[in-house]
Structure 1
Amino acid sequence: MSQQRLPPETGPEHAGALPEYAERVLDVAERIPPGRVMTYGDVAEWLEEGGPRQVGRVMALYGGAVPWWRVVRADGVLLPGHELRALDHYRAEGTPLKEAGRTADGHLPRLEMRRARWDGGGPADGSGHAGDRTGGSSPPDPSDAPSCGP
């Protein structure tokens, strides 16, 4: 697997300003409707730059001011260390969840990715799979992308 890096303008010499790539990632996070999610890889594909790890890094460094709980791992596992806070948001927004079985570690639910995943196009009516794009110049359909986590 090739190693992708954040664009050069995200380095420490630009610490005073939010890097352009980070602004773009955060803009995508803000566009995700309540009750829906995009994976780190979906965001990178939307931007046509970077990869899941780069998006995850941006979210870790700068994501506190946006709905960070809507940018998730592809496997639907809640963000370690932030599970309960995220779960509160998911429940308040009606995000589809798979309840955990009794043998699951910590008995925490996972996101039901087939229903919760948003492709970034069309109306986000919560009616099911994210493939509701009607054409135009919208980004590629993330459901066609390989699933990958941070």
Structure 2
Amino acid sequence: MDEALHERMREAVKDVPAGRVSTYGDIAAMAGAPSPRMVGALLSEDGHDLPWHRILRANGTPAPHIAEEQLARLRAEGVLADGQRVNLKKYRWQPES
């Protein structure tokens, strides 16, 4: 991945405000990445300083291996899940154009 794309994805993740969520696909689209999987790879490799917990799968669920911590962090910001699923209609962040 080129450095410019890497930085665009990092900035898109940083832009998601507390109390809101976005999806891997949303971030990929904002940054011009060809695949949501690239966002997941970025967060797993270079996302420790980002609000990674605000990024969910397209169905509103966290990745299984981080679900407990992710949902706890979201809950602390006021994002409530129904079981393991966050209501994207309620909490999804859309940047202003």
CA displacement at 1:49 relative to structure 2 = 3.0
3-state SS, counterpart of residue 64 of structure 1? coil
What corresponds to 2:74 in structure 1?
Answer: 90
Count of matched residue positions in the alignment of Structure 1 and Structure 2: 97
| Residue number among 80, 98, 104 corresponding to 2:64 in the alignment | 80
8 Å contact kept, 1:78–1:86: yes
What corresponds to 2:85 in structure 1?
Answer: 110
CA displacement at 1:48 relative to structure 2 = 2.5
Contiguous gaps of at least 5 residues in structure 1: 1-6, 10-18, 101-108, 122-137, 139-150
8 Å contact kept, 1:35–1:93: yes
Output aligned runs, 1:41-80, within 5 Å. 41-80=25-64
TM-score, length-scaled by structure 1: 0.60
Q: Point out the structure with max Rg over C-alpha.
A: 1
Relative contact order higher in (CA < 8 Å, ≥ 6 apart): 2
3-state SS, counterpart of residue 94 of structure 1? coil
- Whichever residue aligns with residue 36 of structure 1, its letter is R
Q: What is the Cα-based RMSD across aligned positions, in Å?
A: 1.4
Contiguous gaps of at least 5 residues in structure 2: none
Query: Residues 15-47 of structure 1, C-alpha deviation per residue, up to 9 Å, x if partnerless?
Result: xxxx33222111111110111111111111112
8 Å contact kept, 2:5–2:32: no
Q: Percent identity?
A: 33
